Chains A and B, each alone.
Chain A
Amino acid sequence: MASTPSVKKHMQSSDKTTSDHSKSPIVRPSIPEGKSMRTADELAQATEKISVTDLSFYYSENRALTDISLSIPERCVTAFIGPSGCGKSTFLRCFNRMNDMIEGTRVEGEILLEGQNIYSPRTDIVSLRKRIGMVFQKSTPFPKSIFDNVSFGPKIAGIRRKKDLFEIVERSLQRSALWDEVKDRLSESALNLSGGQQQRLCIARALANDPDILLMDEPASALDPASTARIEDLIFELKEQYTIVIVTHNMQQAARVSDQAAFFYQGLLVESGATEELFTNPRKQQTEDYITGRFG
């Protein structure tokens, strides 16, 4: 691969030893409403959460991803961008092994989560998926009450006491900025919520498992601008605690919410780096064409 991401180089050199003093976010004046974006330095010094090395992915005989290497820093937002069909969702699903559900798929290379290969035979997929929450493009509330939706994960994890469950539900809904809207109707069906509320419910449901990573596949693409803005605000807040990977088709959104961005094209990782740099000064012509909308 010609374009080994610059972030990765930084990361490998800084790995863990220098990460202690990078936690406090710097509020930068250019970003409105006191939201914070990681600076390139911070990004470079962040702990590496996930490290992908030479990952190739096959649907039966079709290769969907080719030799991808990427490093995902802790407590940062990483955005995957690229044209439709380039493999963003496929790549995202590799992180929590959701592709295992699809028959005939095959993975080469490795993904290390805090140093452990998630594709090793000893990995417990269930606990992996509890650590890595996922939010889908189309909100997928279960046809159950709001409470039962959010408490689904904790319940199957074996938490039975109503009081504990209630605490988790309240905390998760508060974190996903939905609590105030639904606190009086937790026993109502989740299907009665609006699309934006349903999506935040799904985020709450993922957070209830207390994950450290949140994968989001176009979480706002089916929502109106107001709901989208709420989700984006939410991402800003969540990244203080969670490592977030988001797939988006919306360049403004990627530029707004992410700290690191990766551009994919036809199963290849073309370029990745600090969002500001990638958007203002892309190194590859393809990236520039895509970002500026001259793609074709």
Chain B
Amino acid sequence: MEDRSNQEQSTKIEGGEAAVIQLSRVSSLEKAGGLWCSLRPFYEGCIHFMLFVCASISILVTVGIVVVLLYESVQFFYDVPILEFLTGTRWSPLLKPQHFGILPLLCGTMLVAGGSAIVAVPIGLGTAIYLSEYASPRFRDIVKPMLEILAGIPSVVFGYLAIVFVSPIIREIFPSAGVFNAASACIVVGIMILPMIISLSEDILQSVPLSLRAAAFALGANKFEVTVRVIVPAALSGIMASFLLAISRAIGETMAVTLAAGATPKLTLNPLESIQTMTAYIVQVSQGDTPTGTLEYRTIFAVGLALFITTMVMNVIAQYILSRVGERYE
């Protein structure tokens, strides 16, 4: 059977080369002989199994992480009622009296996510529209690698820049601001998620069919009208999804906010104050001298679970929207 399919293949190739290929194949087959034939299924099976193991690792790790998070969190919720955790307005597990209300951390996280979105969404969308609709190919060729570099800058660098560069400027303008403040975190995280918004949105704008542009131009629309009234609305759901993904990234962002925003869990929307996000709290406890196995230590699993659920829900929504966008233009 093997032999026949080889012959069939080689007959498709034309000229003298084919004959040579065929000859060499046949002779190598003969040399390998019966031993090869009996080993072959085993060999194939081994490869299949090894690849399967590789693929399974990601599943096992994911499941493992979720199980650990759930297990530790359930233990935590034996001691702290889940209602208190979700509705309490004070968070001070490391100090007496202890309070376990996650709202201040959630508020800090949302403040940074919202603030960075305010920074990144207009700039990101504007850049994406410019790159997709207006920019010359040459300019695009310059900007795209730049965005990649921007996306590759480590987040700790952003955190550092926030402290030494952004925060002083903010304190210059608003003297009431602290050294650590939410605003500087918002700005640097906004810059961090910018490349993501730009590249995703630009892809989506580009995927709007040329025929729609042509149809709009043929109706006497000028470039701006075509862009604003046809292309962007057609791409809107995808653009929204890119925002969601970027905001979810901002929620998960750790290093920059830990450095820039400080470590003061506070139920406030004032960006000039120092706050603490869920991620920053986890850093604080993981690094500190909190003994493992204690209630204080378990808080990070409960907070981690809350963080995980928040970002997962946003990602799922975004992916769902993106997949629907894909279908529409098939």
Q: Output the residue of B211, B215, B222, B230 with the most chain A CB within 10 A.
A: B215
* Cα distance A191–B202 in the bound complex, in angstroms: 23
Using A101-B214, A140-B212, A202-B215 as known contacts, say yes or no to A129 and B234 having CB atoms under 8 A apart. Answer: no
Q: Is the CB of A153 within 8 A of B214?
A: no
Question: Residues of B contacting A209 with CB < 8 Å?
Answer: 219-220
Q: A247 to chain B: closest CB distance in Å? A: 14
User: In the complex, what residues of B have CB within 8 A of residue A98's CB?
Assistant: 214, 217-218
Tell me if B219 and A153 are in contact (CB < 8 A).
yes
Q: Contacts A140-B211, A143-B328; is A101 near B217 (CB within 8 Å)? A: yes
Interface of B is mostly: helix
- CB pair B217–A156 under 8 Å, yes or no, is no
Question: Which are the 7 A-B pairs with shortest beta-carbon distances?
Answer: A130-B220, A140-B215, A134-B218, A129-B220, A153-B219, A140-B211, A126-B220
Does B25 reach chain A (CB closer than 8 Å)? no
Contacts of B225 in A (CB 8 A): 156
B216 at the interface (CB under 8 A from A): yes
B205 to chain A, nearest CB (A): 14
Residue from B219, B221, B229 whose CB has the most chain A CB atoms within 10 Å: B219
A209 to B215, CA, bound (A): 13
Interface presence of A123 (CB below 8 A): no
CB distance from B133 to the nearest CB of A (A): 12
Q: How far is the CA of A143 from the CA of B235 in the complex (A)?
A: 9
Q: Does A284 contact B (CB under 8 A)?
A: no
Does A144 count as interface, using CB distance less than 8 angstroms?
A: yes
A142-B234, A152-B229 given; A130·B219 CB < 8 A: yes
Q: Is the interface of A mostly helix, strand, loop or mixed?
A: helix
From B219, B233, B328, A129 is in contact (CB under 8 Å) with B219
Q: Which of chain A's residues have a CB closer than 8 A to the CB of B328? A: 143, 191
> Smallest Cβ distance from A83 to chain B, in angstroms?
23
Q: Assess whether A82 is interfacial by the CB under 8 Å rule.
A: no
Question: Known: A126-B222, A138-B211, A156-B221. Is A143-B233 also a contact (CB below 8 A)?
Answer: yes
- Chain B, residues 192-234, CB within 8 Å of chain A (1/0): the string is 0000000000000000010111111111111001000110011
Task: Tell me the bound Cα distance from A143 to B236 in angstroms.
Answer: 10
Q: Which residues of A contact B (CB under 8 A)?
A: 96, 98, 101, 126-130, 133-134, 136, 138, 140, 142-144, 152-153, 155-157, 191, 202, 205-206, 209
Q: Write the chain A residue with the least CB distance to B217.
A: A101
Judging by beta carbons under 8 Å apart, are B220 and A140 in contact? Answer: no
Query: When A and B form their complex, what is the total count of cross-chain residue pairs whose Cβ atoms lie within 8 Å?
Result: 63
Q: How far is the CA of A136 from the CA of B212 in the complex (A)?
A: 10
A136→B217 contact, CB < 8 A: no
- Tell me, in angstroms, the Cα distance from A152 to B228 when the chains sit together: 12
Which B residues contact A (CB, under 8 angstroms)? 209, 211-222, 225, 229-230, 233-234, 328
Q: Provide the bound-state CA to CA distance between A219 and B191, in Å.
A: 48
Is B219 a contact of A206 with CB atoms below 8 Å? yes
A127, A133, A138, A143: the one contacting B234 at CB < 8 Å is A143
Closest residue on chain B to residue A206 by CB atoms: B219
**Inter-chain contact A142/B217, CB cutoff 8 Å:** no
Contacting residues, chain B, for A153 (C-beta < 8 A): 219-220
Is the CB–CB distance between A136 and B211 below 8 Å?
yes
Residue of B nearest to A140 (CB): B215
Give 13 A-B pairs besides A128-B220, A134-B218, A206-B218 with Cβ atoms closer than 8 angstroms: A98-B218, A126-B220, A126-B221, A129-B218, A129-B219, A130-B220, A133-B218, A140-B212, A142-B212, A142-B230, A142-B233, A156-B219, A156-B225
B212 partner residues in chain A, CB cutoff 8 A? 140, 142
A140 to B214, CA, bound (A): 9
Is A144's CB under 8 angstroms from B220's CB? no
Please give, as numbers and ranges, the residues of chain A lying within 8 Å of B215 by CB-CB distance: 134, 136, 140, 142, 202, 205
- A155 CA / B328 CA spacing, docked (Å): 26
For the complex, what is the distance from the CA of A206 to the CA of B313, rounded to whole Å?
Answer: 43
A156:B234 contact, CB within 8 angstroms: no
Say how far B150's CB is from chain A's closest CB, in angstroms.
29
Q: Closest chain A residue to B208 by CB distance?
A: A143
| CA of A276 to CA of B189, assembled, Å | 71
Q: Which residues of B contact A133 (CB under 8 A)?
A: 218-219
Q: Which residues of B contact A155 (CB under 8 A)?
A: 229
A136-B215, A142-B215 are known contacts. Are A157 and B234 too (CB-CB below 8 A)? Answer: no
Measured between beta carbons, the chain A residues less than 8 angstroms from B211 are 136, 138, 140
A60 CB to nearest chain B CB (Å):
15
Whether B216 and A152, one on each chain, are in contact in the complex, defined by CB atoms closer than 8 angstroms, is yes
Complex: A136 Cα to B213 Cα, angstroms: 12
Taken together as a complex, chains A and B put the C-alpha atoms of A233 and B220 apart, in Å, by 27
- Shortest C-beta distance, A240 to chain B (Å), equals 23
Q: How near does chain B come to A93, taking the closest CB pair, in angstroms?
A: 9
- CB-CB under 8 A from A129, the residues of chain B are 217-220
Q: Complex formed: what's the CA distance from A127 to B217 in Å?
A: 11
State in angstroms the CA–CA spacing of A138 and B214 once bound together: 12
Q: List 15 A-B contacts (CB under 8 A).
A: A101-B213, A126-B221, A126-B222, A129-B219, A130-B220, A133-B218, A136-B218, A140-B212, A140-B215, A142-B230, A142-B234, A143-B233, A152-B219, A156-B219, A156-B220
